[in-house]
Structure 1
Amino acid sequence: MTDLPALLVAAPLVGSVVVMLAGLVRSESGWPVAAVASLVQTGIAAALAVRAFGPDPVRYVVGGFDAPFGIELVVDGVSATMAVLVAVVALGVLGYARAAGPRSNAFYATYLLLVAGLSGMSVTGDVFNMYVFLEITGLAAYALVASGEGGRSARAALKYLLVGTIGASLFLLGIGFAYVATGTLNMADLSTQLAAVGYASPLVQASFGLLVVGLFVKIAVFPVHTWQPAAYAGAPDSVSALISALVSTIAAYALIRLVFTVFTVDFLLTNAFAQTVLIAGAIVSIVVGSVLAVAQQEVKRMLAYSSVSQFGLVVGAIAVANGTALTGAVIHLVGHAIMKGGLFLTSGLVASATGARTVDDYRGLAERFSAGAAVFGVLALAMVGVPPAIGFVGKWYIALGAVEAGSWPLAVVILGSTLLTLAYFARIIERMFFREPATDTTTDTPLVTDGEGSEAGGSDADPSVVSVGMQTTVLLAAVLAIVLGVAAFEYGQLLEPTIERLLA
């Protein structure tokens, strides 16, 4: 037994405490400590991934108490992927935040606490521990959203807190129903006990429904998505990138883990209604999220509604419940984290350099800030699904899985989602590359409201903030979106043993 799973969670937790203590000596001294903690965690995640893609998952029992009585950490190919994703994205966003801010020790401590919660959710093998880490993640995310200046961030954080608390409460109730039915909380043991109780049991069905709806809130599936646009748009750019890339992504991973590790495919086969609800939620999220994205003027809100649509694809893959679709779901989660995080960081970079924050502000951006326009264009086309970007590979696997399962309505919507995604990104691409810049885009940009009474526009340009680290981070995101797409099919083959175990 290796201690690496425990160290994966402990590294950012210890870093968070050290950052707070360092703040007592010197304010704004937290970035170096946070960077070291993130580097250490990235190394641990990489070492875990090497072991987890072997024939058996990596297991660790906290306190030496054997499962199912002890708290177990389990790392297989999927959870190792999520652990590496959390570590790499957190490290990248941290590099961006050094110049972009926020820079207080409290911010970096909370940042590392969020990373610890996400890492714990990735590797836990206990449903109650998953709830604990979900709450840690939520509390840290609320605080980070509120770290922006002005009332907009505070209102967004409050909305996020209220809606997120409802989701977490439903999740906890679902765990309670499962415990009443089985008397255990270990995921592997739960799977066995739930099968013994019977998938037609009202307790089991109620547990599944509550757990799924609770995670739907955290993932931001329509219509329980309302916290997401406000949180993404109201938070500082660094925070928007981090939570858009990771928070809903790990919640979607948790849904995969619960559906296939705890309830198993047999539950979906026994309860056709549950599968129908998942498919319906996926289709509605894909379509409505895209339509709402098209209607937005503020870039960050457009990207937020885009995430509602993109996570609908993942829910659809879970509902299809075959190996091809599930492989596509994992690839899509990785791709979405890189691409959407990169888009939020690039939008922040563009805003710092030019003051542009609305779709119309991006007029002539290729002339005013060619590097920002190029990176945004590459990441936008990757999100649309243009080969060879990773956005194409994930959608391809999910659509193919839907066809294999005979779920034709979902397959048609998935294929149509490419055109829907193109509809809102084409507006920006056209303005960036085929329009002349406005006479004065920095100081005279008209302000628009974000739908909540706040103003957003091109009045916050500060080119002095733009650093080499910020530009390097967004460039790496664009490069990764292409490189990972080229390697994704080989990764899908590497993932096959883990997917087979999940579906067994």
Structure 2
Amino acid sequence: MTDVLLPVAIAVPIVAATLPIALGLWYEDVGWPIAAVATTVLVGFAGAIGAEVALGGRFSHALGTYQPPVGIELVADELSAAVLVLVATVSLAVLAFSRVAGPRGNPFYSGYLLLVGGLTGLVLTGDLFNLFVFLEIVGITTYALIAADRSGASAYASLKYLVLGTVGASLYLIGVGYVFLATGTLNMLDVQAQIVEQAGYADPLVQASYAFIVAGLALKIALFPVHVWQPDAYQRAPDAVTALMAALVSTTSAYALIRVSYTVFTVDFLAANDAITTALLVVAGASILSGSALAAMQSDLKRMFAYSSVAQFGMIAGAVGLANETALLGGMVHLIGHGLLKFGLFLGVGMLSLGYGARRIEDLASVAREAPYTAGAIAVLGLALVGIPPSIGFLGKWYIGVGAVESSLTGGGAAGVGIAVVIFVSTLFTLAYVARLIERFYFAGVGLPGGHGDDASDPAVTDGGHGGASEASEADAGPVSPVEDAPRSSWVPDRVPPASLALLVLTALTAVALGFGGFALAEWFDPYLTEVFA
């Protein structure tokens, strides 16, 4: 009966999403407790699903009375369990931050839970059309949450994402339609078998279906050159929403790319279609270079890390295109690691904005004097993003780079070497903007915007004292509003809540700890890799 965990894990947040609106007719502030309970329960289910996969391997659940391939199937394996644990834990952590940073209100928490349910379903589904349904749930709720603060800039960013996201979903659906025409089925494993039996890897219909699906997912992931929605969306969304989006929304779309490429179309399809893999590698290389270069040019912290995500997801797309076991291992490790790192970095940026009104590089002069724990955790996460060992960021890049070299040595041509080179160049760009950030933290000037410095008349705002928060520039994202119910403590600023600071430090420590877990991660993903490359 453990397979029942799969539909229940999806149902809990989706059903809970109806309660803040319904109970809000009688209770004004019921949304956050409901969301907290639902996401906590989801963390428990995710842990149970992960434990079941660790003990017994892949397992599935058929919805209703129809067995697959006719009915819809939910599946948990090593890859989906790892991403599910990331979704559950990050969702709960972001919810803790939103308690003090906002947005608030019962409608927001309903949208939040619906998004979490969509992400959970996207990770667990074993059906291509059902994957489209959950992509749409994720997309629609994300559009709404970006505009949750009701500013004009947020509404514009949401509208841009809506238009491009709808195009991406439409392209994906066209690809699924072609798959159905070619195979007569939508179940992922059955499609895999029917492509061989009925069509063949060289069938133009099968090739077109993969091309449309990848194009649609590229828009959702924000690969170059269809990445233009992401910087505005990340910058203009409320800080808590940005942390959730950066950690999970594009991450689950990249998961879908891996799942479709290797579970549905298989490595044999990629090996038989050099033109398709070459095009994917070209797009990946362009994403890696352009994202890193554009990130190094930014002054706004959220835009800088948004462009960084374009580069990091380019590496995952490159790992998919290399069709190499070592590279795919790196892509999966990087998928989890990047989600963790971007959650921590955007949480840190949100805390700096909440506590000090600092949203740009120039606002961070000697922030380490006034917030040493926050600055230190962000610095550690930034170095992990560069790929400094030991860190989860290093592991992902290392495996992808080694896989790229292996691919070139085993007849993959210059494409593998090219990916390895652009990863190296990207690392230099990443080092440039992370070093710039650290330099501002520790070596540039004194004080923060609003007069907090050695000569300021206000008391120093330190991790050991209290002080006020200055407002952010309206040109960036509107003024930072005071948080009336933010907890006060004798050792953290009243605008940097202790729970959020603890989460930030824990995330940084986890990123480093996972850097020592290379063999454990390889062992965890080995059953999936063995099945894919058998």
Amino acid at match of 2:311: S
Q: CA deviation at 1:492?
A: 1.4
Amino acid at match of 1:487: G
Alpha-carbon spacing, 1:447–1:398, altered in 2? closer, same or farther (3 Å): same
Identity percentage of aligned residues: 47
**Take 1:26 and 1:361, find their aligned partners in 2: how far apart are those partners?**
40
1:361 aligned partner: 363
Alpha-carbon spacing, 1:442–1:92, altered in 2? closer, same or farther (3 Å): farther
1:101-116 map, 5 Å: 101-116=102-117
1:157 aligned partner: 158
1:84 aligned partner: 85
Deviations 1:373-412 (A, max 9, x none): 1111111111111111110111111111111111111112
1:93-132 map, 5 Å: 93-132=94-133
2:172 aligned partner: 171
2:24 aligned partner: 23
Determine if contact 1:12/1:37 at 8 Å carries over to the other structure: yes
Moved more, 467-476 or 440-449: 440-449
Q: Secondary structure at the match of 1:59?
A: strand
**Take 2:524 and 2:437, find their aligned partners in 1: how far apart are those partners?**
37
Amino acid at match of 1:185: L
Deviations 1:72-108 (A, max 9, x none): 0111000011111100110111111111111211111
1:422 aligns with 2:424: no
Q: For the pair shown, which has the larger CA radius of gyration, 1 or 2? A: 2
**Take 1:420 and 1:294, find their aligned partners in 2: how far apart are those partners?**
6
**Take 1:439 and 1:232, find their aligned partners in 2: how far apart are those partners?**
23
**Take 1:145 and 1:373, find their aligned partners in 2: how far apart are those partners?**
26
Point out 4+ residue stretches in structure 1 off by more than 6 angstroms. Answer: 443-449
Determine if contact 1:17/1:109 at 8 Å carries over to the other structure: yes
2:305 aligned partner: 303
Determine if contact 2:472/2:479 at 8 Å carries over to the other structure: no
**Take 2:472 and 2:105, find their aligned partners in 1: how far apart are those partners?**
30
Q: Secondary structure at the match of 2:23?
A: helix
1:472 aligned partner: 502
Deviations 1:234-255 (A, max 9, x none): 0000000000000000000000
2:465 aligned partner: none
**Take 1:149 and 1:442, find their aligned partners in 2: how far apart are those partners?**
29
1:49 aligned partner: 50
Alpha-carbon spacing, 1:176–1:131, altered in 2? closer, same or farther (3 Å): same
Determine if contact 2:370/2:447 at 8 Å carries over to the other structure: no
Moved more, 164-173 or 366-375: 366-375
Alpha-carbon spacing, 1:289–1:448, altered in 2? closer, same or farther (3 Å): farther
Moved more, 66-75 or 368-377: 368-377
Q: 2:476 aligns with which of 456, 465, 469?
A: 456
Q: Secondary structure at the match of 2:61?
A: strand
Amino acid at match of 1:49: G
**Take 1:448 and 1:473, find their aligned partners in 2: how far apart are those partners?**
23
Determine if contact 2:23/2:30 at 8 Å carries over to the other structure: yes
Q: Secondary structure at the match of 1:184?
A: coil
Determine if contact 2:357/2:472 at 8 Å carries over to the other structure: no
1:397 aligned partner: 399
Q: CA deviation at 1:25?
A: 1.4
Q: 2:530 aligns with which of 497, 500, 504?
A: 500
**Which ranges in structure 2 are unaligned for 5 or more consecutive residues?**
409-415, 457-468, 483-492
2:444 aligned partner: 435
**Take 2:418 and 2:121, find their aligned partners in 1: how far apart are those partners?**
36
Determine if contact 2:356/2:471 at 8 Å carries over to the other structure: no
Moved more, 126-135 or 145-154: 145-154
Alpha-carbon spacing, 1:18–1:431, altered in 2? closer, same or farther (3 Å): same
1:66-465 map, 5 Å: 66-196=67-197, 197-406=199-408, 407-437=416-446, 440-441=449-450, 455-456=475-476, 460=480, 462=482, 464-465=494-495
Q: CA deviation at 1:356?
A: 0.8
Determine if contact 2:236/2:477 at 8 Å carries over to the other structure: no
**Take 1:376 and 1:446, find their aligned partners in 2: how far apart are those partners?**
20
Q: Secondary structure at the match of 2:75?
A: strand
Normalized against structure 1, the TM-score is what?
A: 0.96
Amino acid at match of 2:511: A
Determine if contact 2:471/2:480 at 8 Å carries over to the other structure: no
**Take 1:478 and 1:148, find their aligned partners in 2: how far apart are those partners?**
29
Determine if contact 1:356/1:457 at 8 Å carries over to the other structure: no
Q: CA deviation at 1:487?
A: 2.1
Amino acid at match of 1:236: P
**Take 1:465 and 1:21, find their aligned partners in 2: how far apart are those partners?**
32
Q: CA deviation at 1:466?
A: 2.8
Amino acid at match of 1:408: V
Amino acid at match of 2:417: W
Q: CA deviation at 1:57?
A: 1.0
**Take 2:94 and 2:502, find their aligned partners in 1: how far apart are those partners?**
11
Q: Secondary structure at the match of 1:73?
A: strand
Q: Secondary structure at the match of 2:25?
A: helix
**Take 1:389 and 1:465, find their aligned partners in 2: how far apart are those partners?**
29
Q: CA deviation at 1:309?
A: 0.4
**Take 1:112 and 1:354, find their aligned partners in 2: how far apart are those partners?**
29
**Take 2:64 and 2:289, find their aligned partners in 1: how far apart are those partners?**
47
- Count matched residues: 500
1:487 aligns with 2:517: yes
Alpha-carbon spacing, 1:476–1:133, altered in 2? closer, same or farther (3 Å): same
Amino acid at match of 1:427: R
**Take 1:186 and 1:460, find their aligned partners in 2: how far apart are those partners?**
48
Alpha-carbon spacing, 1:204–1:349, altered in 2? closer, same or farther (3 Å): same
Determine if contact 1:171/1:212 at 8 Å carries over to the other structure: yes
Alpha-carbon spacing, 1:83–1:361, altered in 2? closer, same or farther (3 Å): same
Q: Secondary structure at the match of 2:73?
A: strand
Alpha-carbon spacing, 1:264–1:442, altered in 2? closer, same or farther (3 Å): farther
Determine if contact 2:188/2:264 at 8 Å carries over to the other structure: yes
**Take 2:37 and 2:72, find their aligned partners in 1: how far apart are those partners?**
28
Amino acid at match of 2:532: L
Q: CA deviation at 1:12?
A: 0.6
**Take 2:137 and 2:514, find their aligned partners in 1: how far apart are those partners?**
30
Normalized against structure 2, the TM-score is what?
A: 0.90
Deviations 1:124-160 (A, max 9, x none): 0000000000000000111110102411111111111
**Take 1:353 and 1:101, find their aligned partners in 2: how far apart are those partners?**
13
* RMSD, aligned α-carbons: 1.9
Q: CA deviation at 1:260?
A: 0.5
**Take 1:439 and 1:160, find their aligned partners in 2: how far apart are those partners?**
33
Determine if contact 2:153/2:477 at 8 Å carries over to the other structure: no
Alpha-carbon spacing, 1:323–1:29, altered in 2? closer, same or farther (3 Å): same
